[in-house]
Amino acid sequence: MAGPLSGIKILEFQGIGPGPFCTMMLSDMGADIVRIDRAQNVKPEGGGFSLDFLARGRRSVGVDLKSPEGIETCLRMIEKADAIIEGFRPGVMERLGLGPDVCLARNPSLVYGRMTGWGQDGPLANVAGHDINYISLAGALAHIGRAGEAPVPPLNLVGDFGGGGMLLAFGMVCALVERASSGKGQVVDAAMVDGTAALMSIIHGAQLSGWWKEERGSNMLDTGAHFYDVYETSDAKYVSIGSIEPQFYAVLLDKLGLAGESLPPQMDRSQWPAMKERFQELFKQKTRDEWCEIMEGTDICFSPVLTMSEAREHPHIKARNTFVPVEGHPGAQQAAPAPRFSRTGCEIQGPPPQAGEHTDAVLSEYGFSSDEISELKGTKAVA
């Protein structure tokens, strides 16, 4: 089955993190992604299989972006592309001669995706940063962590991949859908600081209403509540509880052996610390596997806290084929494409490419003659 984006041709200017994650998602949905790698990174002898999962499912062309011939090669490819994606600082593509004005003049229907931390404008637009900085400024990091402790960076999932790559993928598809009716391309300005703020919308609303307190670790969803937290077990592992609804909380109390006791109301915040201490004592009395026997599969909203290697082996994860084998790496697994479709399907189109691995084939598909390709290789504009 062809993916829902089958037939869409996208050029990706090689970058790191959120940009490649965006193009991985688009490739998994069937888009034909060609990555523009730096010619200087092309190794004549090639290389082995890669575990760079974000780079899966596309082909690679090696181009010298400091060469006029290399820039013209990119522009000729852009003329035949549906979209491009770049993740440089603001102004870099313009200085290369590949800015939106130039590219849209060559291809007015082009969707031009831009991935940055701070956005294309604003006082910090040209300042360096990473996920931790973007989620700090957007008001997310301050609220992740326990009371009395420092904020805890949630890996780089919120800024880079949630607020960045995933929002850019959404923006690219939106622009492609709009183009179907207007026939016109446009620029998609995806900033991780903007995307993180959007992810925090429900929390902002709760704070403005007075229900959410800005003190870290004092609210229902930030480890303040005893019924929404992780607990250590007797074997130094952890389980997670999310028994928000009263009916789920009742099942939790029953499985903990507390159903017959006179307990404070679930939403009495003044009693949350004391109840948390009680829960901590109870959960430390059994191993994680023992609690799984008691609670997993009930409406408690319970799960064991699994490591990456453990998650890949969980029966539910295996039943859904959430992870799939890695080509060329026996025993290794990677996350399967998501979400899933009933009719069009989606699949990993191939392993991560070596830089410049498909230069000749791709340029030929984009209209370059064999003589032109040989000349470009001779001048080292491509590799």
Show which residues are catalytic. 130, 160
Q: What is 127-193 written as a DSSP string?
A: S---HHHHHHHTT-GGGSS-TTS-----TTIIIIIIIIIIHHHHHHHHHHHHHHHH---EEEEEEHH
d(CA 279, CA 306): 20
First to last CA, the chain: 33
d(CA 144, CA 359): 45
d(CA 75, CA 112): 13
The CA-based angle 286-291-295, given to 5 degrees, is: 150
**Contact criterion met (CB below 8 Å) for 34 and 60:** yes
Which residue pairs, CB below 8 angstroms and at least 24 apart, start in 125-130?
125/90, 126/89, 126/90, 126/91, 130/156, 130/159
